[in-house]
Amino acid sequence: MPVILPVLGKHPQLGENCFIAPNATIVGDVVMGDDCSVWFNAVVRGDVHYIRMGNKVNIQDGAVIHCTYQKTPTNIGNNVSIGHNALVHGCTIHDNVLIGMGAIVMDRCVVHSNSIIAAGAVLLEGTIVEAGCIYAGVPAKKVKDVSQELIHGEIDRISNNYVMYASWFK
């Protein structure tokens, strides 16, 4: 059974058709949209501030979503994939974004729509990612623009695949 716990009277709220893996953890002030998934060993911790997610968000295996006490909530838009072992902390991620495996997105970062954060990239605190760009490296910097092929071939494909994968467990 997944760990889904209230904190200080705030209960996680899940949208329609969501999949939560048996060993995932979701606590506190978390609101998820429809068709979301939280995968094995992932943690979504809305204990010290709120976390909001749109529709078709997938939090892949081992990823951690958190915030900073009384300072920075975490807001995630629609059609967002958070890769395996990524850390998303006290930031805003707009629609149609792919956060790569092992990437770190720190407090007060803003990742605008149609963007990709490469695997292993580290967005330092307060980084603003332009819409339609790929950021990579440590610290992460813009490396190129995102083509329409990447938007459909990666961002949309991965998000849609995770809705399909989740259906296998129902």
Q: Where are the domains of the chain?
A: 3-167
CATH 2.160.10.10 fits 3-167, yes or no: yes
What's the CA gap between 35 and 7, in Å, rounded?
24
Residues in contact with 58: Cβ distance below 8 Å, sequence separation at least 6, in sequence order:
36, 37, 38, 39, 80, 81, 82, 158, 159, 162, 163, 166
Nearest to 129 by CA among 142, 148, 146, 120: 142
Residue-wise pLDDT tens for the chain (170 aa)? 999 999 999 999 999 999 999 999 999 999 999 999 999 999 999 999 999 999 999 999 999 999 999 999 999 999 999 999 999 999 999 999 999 999 999 999 999 999 999 999 999 999 999 999 999 999 999 999 999 888 888 999 999 999 999 999 98
Would the pTM count as exceeding 0.75? yes
Quick check: 60 and 44 in contact, CB under 8 A? no
